[in-house]
Amino acid sequence: MTGVMMSLAGRRLTALPSGALWDAGAATLCVSDLHLGKSDRIARRAGLMLPPYDSRATLDRLAEEVTRCDPRVVVCLGDSFDDLASADALDADCQASLLRLQAGRRWIWIEGNHDPGPVDLGGMHLRDWRDGALTYRHIAQAGESGEISGHYHPKFALPGVGGARPCFLHDARRIILPAFGAYTGGLSARAVELRALMGPGACAILTGRVALRVPLI
Amino acid sequence: MTHLPPRFSDWFAARGWSLHPHQAEMLARAADPALLLIAPTGGGKTLAGFLPTLLDLAEGGHSGLHTLYVSPLKALAADIRRNLTTPVVEMGLPIRIEDRSGDTSYTQKRRQRADPPHILLTTPESLALLISYEDAPRIFAGLQRVIVDEIHALAESKRGDQLMLALSRLQTLAPGLRRVGLSATVEDPAAIARSLACAPAPCAILHADPGPEPDIAMLVTEERPPWAGGGARYAIPAVLDEVRRHRTTLIFHNTRAQAELFFHNLWLANDDDLPIGIHHGSLSREQREAVEAAMVAGQLRAIVCTGSLDLGIDWGDVDLVIQIGAPKNVKRLIQRIGRANHRYNAPSKALLVPANRFEVVECVAALEAARAHDLDGDPKGPGPRDVLCQHILIVACAGPFGADALYAEVRSVGAYATLDRADFDACLAFCATGGYALRAYDRWQRLVERDGLWHLRDPRAAQRIRMNIGTIQDTDTLKVRLRGSFKPLGEVEEAFAATLTPGDTFLIGGQIVRYEGLRELTVEVSRDRGRQPRIATFMGTKFATSTQLSARILRMFRQDDWPALPAHTAQWLAQQRAVSRLPEADRILVESFAHDGRAHSCFYGFAGRNAQQTLGLLLTQRMEALGLQPLGFVATDYATLVWGLEPLRDAAALFDADDLRAGFETWLAGNAVMKRTFRAAATIAGLIERNLPQARKSGRQATFSSDILYDTLMKYDPDHLMLRITREEAMRGLVDFGRIEEMLARSRGRIDHVTLDRVSPLAAPMLLEMGRVPIAGEGRERLMADVAAELMALAGIEVE
């Protein structure tokens, strides 16, 4: 596990290469924007039948991190489901996987713009969650600090070497997580919305085989 | 001899024309179910195709559509409409002629469907759209004839397969339909005839008089061609001399980038200010049309161009064709030469200009092949199933269909005559449910079967299907425009745009521009006063040297001496034979030598650029496993040069066919070229949509998601139809594994491994080649980590 260490509100957090955030001190694992059921929603809405393995792939990757870290708390930072109907439509296999992951630990679903209501699956459902000086919420709010959020699916390309990869964004006030789900596109870390949120000295941490920190320039 | 009615014979006589024998023969056999005419450009081919229609319609009495004309180019359809209108008006024939393409207005298109003209001129894509309408049976009910122009060009691509599937539909709607194909000279007319006919009906082949032998030669220059590179800048003074000596010269290039560079350098040397224009597919339509108009008006002395001028629009008085760079394919060369001298009985004149020393050999081989009428071409595989998937969806748009009837109809298409039922059913299942091993979309499937007929589940899906008709894969391109202007200059590939940083200069439309930035998927540039662009080139299609031409070059190598070659090139080959050996067709030559502190190995496979590139990826993968630490490679049409840290000791071990194939399978999984192949198939088959009803999805997002779909399928459903199609496609095209197989078959493990104390004459130009490929893997991760650390240090960010 070659993660990158970050400090936020006096806490030590690790950006994992998979795109998950690990707070070893609090044994809390956080992932954002799982978008479970995306292929189902696309079929329903657009009539396109994409390979229906995205939820399976996302949960398999999440299970790897849960097995490796063995967290006490798992926070899913919003947009965990592509919409509320796709939460209901999650197949039995995926439901069973989720149940296995939830066993013996605290599971927090944060509301996102895609899934703004409780789902019929285990776990606690919250608008946002405070853990000491840290606040977990879906969409970053200007002026906040100690904030951990998702929503934007940031990605970043190193000049001259390879294409864009999903990335964390980190500065003194906040961390924005990459999307953890399969079939999720991304927004360039250089986009105006993200530039407006991130302060001077901000870094991007690229996901991939190893996590890689670069200045956000 | 067929006799023309007086109205026609008078018209011919008034113009001093008489019927060509092939035109008469086409008339005599007008009742044949299918006919293929092979004729050189300008041989009255179009009139030969249309005469039976004009005669049929001359007496009036036919209402509705009589003849459908399909050509690969919109411009060609418009051109033919003008040319046909002349005899129709002059003879006072009661015939309505219209064209229809993506450029036709909405009202015009509506009217054409309600009240079709007698003759409709269109493209394969517009025809596919027409047959998707519910009223297709009414539109095509009286159709008598279909004329497919430039069928040789269509037959080479999936556009031809789509067209022939559409014709099978038309044949059902209009059972008396007769088919005519018009083709330039090709290596295998019978194959084209088979693709045109409604199987198993026969298709006769008629040959027009090919005219006098073309006058082709290699341009001899004072200056010697350089060792490497593709620009042929050395030949510019000689080319300008030729332009001065002729009325109009077409200067063909193999890539757009080379055309741009050459045009730029030509103008720097054009002291007489000869009017010379440029024409290629990346230029904006306005610019191309301006050049075309100037050309037709006889205002230009030369046009620097690419394949965009390959097809048969009549450009008037061309009396010389110059081909810059070796013609990678003899058939294409012959077809290009046909662009010169449209007058009957005058030989076409052409000059070949090798861009480098190896191309001298290629040019001489191509000249010999052209004189011997030894045309090349790869036999086409069976009809592609991604195109079939699209066709099934198109048919579903028009109305409910029965699987058995559609299967029978599809099998009447030559390319699909051997399609078995299981494959057809797999395509139908893909269209209906996605065809996944995990049955997920029972509620949302695209096609549903009711009472033995397949229907669209949601009829609104027809709009989306129609918006995505077509098999042409535009590489993802971005428009280029001057900052503050709305007029586009042209297009560059997205991958090229991604390498630009503000301040970089490059060539487009013959001018140097400076990259300013990217704005809403448009590349913004400003004019630059510089004389040399900093970044010379953007990418473009690179053709691989054909199998037949490669074989001919290898045969030339067996000669004791080379009187046909210029002295400098003959000496070069003799030197190679003295210090190492010349490559042979039934063996693979490998040369290893140290250069610049690195171990180098050069593999002469003569498998063509794409296959040598794939071979480079496979060999370096094996070398990495053997601990040879390869750092990179470069590929040309004839060899792959690999460099690394450790010298190669046992070349034969690398060429075990089973190992290479196994490597190919693993390599398939993560390769970017495979992902591009997958994206093309998935887009054609309708898994990915290029065009969306409202917001247009950018190419960038499509790239991203199709790669993920590919990875997901590889992991969870490796036997899915789309992956089976992708693997098949990889045998040809950019991956071209088929030619690696061909190389292994002819060499059968006979490897000559020569260790040298320095670079060999044949390998030396490889060191200068562009397009070096760094090896991905641990090396790339290390490179990325280095770049990241450097940036962190530069930014002064401290990390605890």
pLDDT in tens, A93-147: 999 999 999 999 999 999 998 888 777 788 999 999 999 999 999 999 999 999 9
Lowest mean pLDDT among A131-145, B407-421, B542-556, B685-699: B685-699
**Residue B694: pLDDT band by 50, 70, 90 thresholds?**
low
Mean pLDDT value across residues B266-280: 90
What is the pLDDT at residue B728?
86
Mean pLDDT value across residues B474-496: 73
Give me A64's structure tokens.
């790897």
**Residue B765: pLDDT band by 50, 70, 90 thresholds?**
confident
The C-alpha atoms of residue B181 and residue B203 are separated, in whole angstroms, by 10
Mutating which of B791, B794, B798 best tests the A interface, going by the most A Cβ atoms within 10 A? Answer: B791
- Percent of chain B predicted with pLDDT > 90: 47
What is the pLDDT at residue B496?
67
Mutating which of A6, A8, A49, A165 best tests the B interface, going by the most B Cβ atoms within 10 A? Answer: A49
Contact call for A44 and B444, based on CB within 8 A = yes
Buried-exposed string B222-253: b where 16+ CB fall within 10 A, e elsewhere: eeebbbbbbbbbbbbebbbebbeebebbbbbb
Higher pLDDT, B728 or B487: B728
Contacts of A7 in chain B (CB under 8 A): 800
The one-letter amino acid at A130: R
Q: Is the pLDDT of residue B671 over 80?
A: no
The C-alpha atoms of residue A134 and residue B587 are separated, in whole angstroms, by 68
**Residue B480: pLDDT band by 50, 70, 90 thresholds?**
confident
Q: Is the pLDDT of residue B447 over 90?
A: yes
Lowest mean pLDDT among B189-198, B496-505, B727-736: B496-505
Contact call for B715 and A53, based on CB within 8 A = yes
What is the pLDDT at residue B540?
45
What is the pLDDT at residue B319?
87
**Residue B338: pLDDT band by 50, 70, 90 thresholds?**
confident
- Percent of chain A predicted with pLDDT > 90: 69
Higher pLDDT, B752 or A121: B752
Nearest to A215 among B434, B445, B791 (CB): B791
The C-alpha atoms of residue B427 and residue B166 are separated, in whole angstroms, by 17
A124/B contact by beta carbon, under 8 A: no
Q: What is the pLDDT of residues B75-130, one digit of tens each?
A: 778 778 888 998 999 999 999 999 998 778 889 999 999 999 999 999 999 999 99
**Residue B778: pLDDT band by 50, 70, 90 thresholds?**
low
Contact call for A47 and B783, based on CB within 8 A = no
Mean pLDDT value across residues B292-318: 78
Burial of residue B487, with CB atoms counted within 10 A of its CB: 0-12 exposed, 13-18 middle, 19 or more buried = exposed
What is the pLDDT at residue B98?
94
User: In Å, how far is B533's CA from the nearest CA of chain A?
Assistant: 20
Give me B168's structure tokens.
């099978």
Q: In what order do the strands lie in the sheet with A73-76?
A: A4-8, A11-15, A21-23, A28-31, A73-76, A106-110, A124-126
What is the pLDDT at residue B287?
82
CA-based nearest residue in chain B for residue A209: B781
Secondary structure E strands in B483-628? 488-493, 505-508, 511-519, 522-527, 588-595, 598-604
Mean pLDDT value across residues B576-586: 95
Residues counted in chain A: 217
**Residue B647: pLDDT band by 50, 70, 90 thresholds?**
very high
Contacts of B709 in chain A (CB under 8 A): 50-51, 183
What is the pLDDT at residue B698?
40
B705 to A92, A136, B141, B459, B710: CA distances (angstroms): 26, 28, 43, 26, 9
Give the list of residues 6+ apart from residue B730 with CB closer than 8 angstroms, or none: B668, B674, B677, B737
A182/B contact by beta carbon, under 8 A: yes
**Residue B499: pLDDT band by 50, 70, 90 thresholds?**
low
Q: Is the pLDDT of residue B307 over 80?
A: no
What is the pLDDT at residue B227?
83
Helix (H) or strand (E) holding B364: helix B357-371
Mean pLDDT value across residues B259-279: 89
DSSP assignment of B594-660, as one string?
EETTEEEEEEE--S-HHHHHHHHHHHHHHHHHTT--EEEEEE-SS-EEEEESS--S-SGGGG-HHHH
Mean pLDDT value across residues B124-141: 95
What is the pLDDT at residue B503?
76
User: In Å, how far is A49's CA from the nearest CA of chain B?
Assistant: 5
Mean pLDDT value across residues B159-166: 97
Nearest to B781 among A39, A185, A209 (CB): A209
Region at B127 (left for phi over 0; alpha for psi -120 to 50; beta for the rest)? alpha
Nearest to A161 among B440, B784, B792 (CB): B784
User: In Å, how far is B535's CA from the nearest CA of chain A?
Assistant: 14
In the Cβ-directed half-sphere of B566, how many Cα atoms lie within 13 Å? 21
Contact call for B440 and A186, based on CB within 8 A = no
Closest CA to B386 of B468, B475, B494, B459: B468
A192/B contact by beta carbon, under 8 A: no
The C-alpha atoms of residue B210 and residue B502 are separated, in whole angstroms, by 53
What is the pLDDT at residue B343?
60
User: Same CATH topology for B6-207 and B215-371?
Assistant: yes
Secondary structure E strands in B124-169? 145-148
The one-letter amino acid at B107: T
φ, ψ at B510 (rounded to 5°): 80, 0
Cis peptide leading into residue B327 (ω within 30°)? no
| CATH code 3.40.50.300 for B215-371 | yes
| CATH code 3.40.50.300 for B6-207 | yes
User: In Å, how far is A126's CA from the nearest CA of chain B?
Assistant: 31
A72/B contact by beta carbon, under 8 A: no
Contact call for B787 and A158, based on CB within 8 A = yes
Mean pLDDT value across residues B500-522: 74
Closest CA to B69 of B31, B122, B118: B122
The C-alpha atoms of residue B510 and residue B257 are separated, in whole angstroms, by 10
Q: Is the pLDDT of residue B696 over 70?
A: no
CA-based nearest residue in chain B for residue A54: B712
Q: What is the CA B124 to chain-centroid distance, rounded? A: 16
- Give the domains, in start order, of chain A with CATH numbers: 4-215 (3.60.21)
Cβ count near B394 (within 10 Å):
25
Contact call for B799 and A213, based on CB within 8 A = yes
Mean residue pLDDT of chain B comes to 86
Q: Is the pLDDT of residue B703 over 50?
A: no
Contacts of A212 in chain B (CB under 8 A): 784-785, 788
Cβ proximity of B209 and B21 under 8 Å: yes
Give me B533's structure tokens.
């662009």
DSSP assignment of A125-179, as one string?
EES-EEETTEEE-SS--TT--SEEE-SS-EEE--TTSS--EEEEEE-SSEEEPPP
**Considering all CA atoms of chain A, what is the largest pairwise distance in Å, rounded to the nearest integer?**
48
CA-based nearest residue in chain B for residue A171: B797
CA-based nearest residue in chain B for residue A5: B800
Mean pLDDT value across residues B631-658: 88
Q: Is the pLDDT of residue B296 over 90?
A: no
Contact call for B464 and A47, based on CB within 8 A = yes
Lowest mean pLDDT among B198-212, B471-485, B690-704: B690-704
**What residues are paired with B279 via a beta bridge?**
B305
The C-alpha atoms of residue B101 and residue B124 are separated, in whole angstroms, by 9
Q: What is the CA A168 to chain-centroid distance, rounded? A: 9
What is the pLDDT at residue B166?
98
**Residue A188: pLDDT band by 50, 70, 90 thresholds?**
confident
A49/B contact by beta carbon, under 8 A: yes
A112/B contact by beta carbon, under 8 A: no
Nearest to A212 among B444, B715, B784 (CB): B784
Lowest mean pLDDT among A17-26, A175-184, B564-573, B697-706: B697-706
What is the pLDDT at residue B192?
94
Domain ranges of chain B: 6-207, 215-371, 477-527, 580-655+739-800
Give me B215's structure tokens.
């006058």
Closest CA to B249 of B351, B105, B328, B382: B351
Q: Is the pLDDT of residue B310 over 80?
A: no
Q: What is the pLDDT of residues B113-125, one digit of tens each?
A: 999 999 999 999 9
Q: Is the pLDDT of residue B477 over 50?
A: yes
Give the list of residues 6+ apart from residue B796 with CB closer than 8 angstroms, or none: none
User: In Å, how far is A216's CA from the nearest CA of chain B?
Assistant: 9
Higher pLDDT, B705 or B608: B608
The C-alpha atoms of residue B41 and residue B335 are separated, in whole angstroms, by 8
The C-alpha atoms of residue A140 and residue A112 are separated, in whole angstroms, by 11
What is the pLDDT at residue B377?
77
Three-state secondary-structure class, residue A204? strand
Secondary structure E strands in B407-487? 447-450, 453-456, 477-482
> How far apart are the two ends of chain B, measured CA to CA in Å?
94
Q: What is the pLDDT of residues B351-396, one digit of tens each?
A: 999 988 899 999 999 999 998 888 887 777 899 999 999 999 999 9
Higher pLDDT, B674 or A90: A90
Mean residue pLDDT of chain A comes to 91
Q: What is the pLDDT of residues A40-58, one digit of tens each?
A: 888 888 888 999 999 999 9
Q: Is the pLDDT of residue B777 over 60?
A: no
What is the pLDDT at residue B115?
94
Beta carbon pairs, A and B, within 8 Å: 111
What is the pLDDT at residue B571?
92
Contact call for B689 and A48, based on CB within 8 A = yes
Q: What is the pLDDT of residues B602-631, one digit of tens each?
A: 999 999 988 898 888 888 888 888 888 888
What angle is formed at CA B522 by the lines to CA B519 and CA B525, rounded to 5 degrees? 85
Closest CA to B112 of B102, B100, B123: B100
Ranges A146-155, B152-161, B661-670, most confident: A146-155
Contact call for B708 and A182, based on CB within 8 A = yes
A44/B contact by beta carbon, under 8 A: yes
Q: Is the pLDDT of residue B702 over 50?
A: no
What is the pLDDT at residue B59?
86
The C-alpha atoms of residue B314 and residue B41 are separated, in whole angstroms, by 9
Mutating which of B716, B778, B800 best tests the A interface, going by the most A Cβ atoms within 10 A? Answer: B716
CA-based nearest residue in chain B for residue A41: B444
The C-alpha atoms of residue A109 and residue A123 are separated, in whole angstroms, by 7
A213/B contact by beta carbon, under 8 A: yes
**Residue B230: pLDDT band by 50, 70, 90 thresholds?**
confident
The C-alpha atoms of residue B755 and residue B596 are separated, in whole angstroms, by 16
Q: What is the pLDDT of residues B535-566, one digit of tens each?
A: 545 444 467 888 899 999 999 999 999 999 99
Closest CA to A211 of A182, A175, A173, A172: A175
Evaluated on CA atoms B635, B641, B646, B649, the torsion sign reads positive
A40/B contact by beta carbon, under 8 A: yes
Contacts of A217 in chain B (CB under 8 A): 791, 795
Q: Please give the torsion angle defined by the CA atoms of residues B668, B670, B671 and B675, in that order, rounded to the nearest 10 degrees.
A: 90
